């Protein structure tokens, strides 16, 4: 994957996301999900634009069901925003870049 995206799994979610100091965004997605493919390039762009401010992660829900269930992810794509390891915001569904960028700005201000 391009940009500054980090692939996370059930095994390393706690280390990569919950122990991360600052803002982390986790994209819960699946290969077969059309809307997920629509939002992927937007997240790649934002991961570059917010490098050093926001850690952008991707978690495949098909191969990491434990974490998906733990955070009650029922629709994809779902983007969870974490600050210092705690969920502070969420976006469900494919949204335009402006909507995601507004969330990134809000949590890095």
- Write out the catalytic residue numbers: 33, 36
For β-strands 78-83 and 86-92, DSSP reports them as antiparallel
């Amino acid at each position: 994957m391009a940009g500054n995206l980090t692939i996370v799994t059930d095994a390393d979610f706690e280390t990569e996301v919950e122990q991360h100091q600052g803002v982390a965004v986790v994209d819960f997605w699946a290969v077969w999900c059309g809307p997920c493919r629509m939002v992927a390039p937007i997240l790649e762009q934002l991961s570059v634009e917010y490098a050093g401010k926001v850690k952008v992660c991707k978690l495949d829900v098909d191969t990491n069901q434990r974490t998906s269930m733990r955070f009650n992810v029922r629709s994809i794509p779902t983007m969870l925003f974490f600050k210092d390891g705690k969920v502070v915001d969420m976006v469900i569904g494919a949204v335009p870049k402006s909507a995601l960028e507004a969330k990134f700005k809000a949590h890095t201000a």
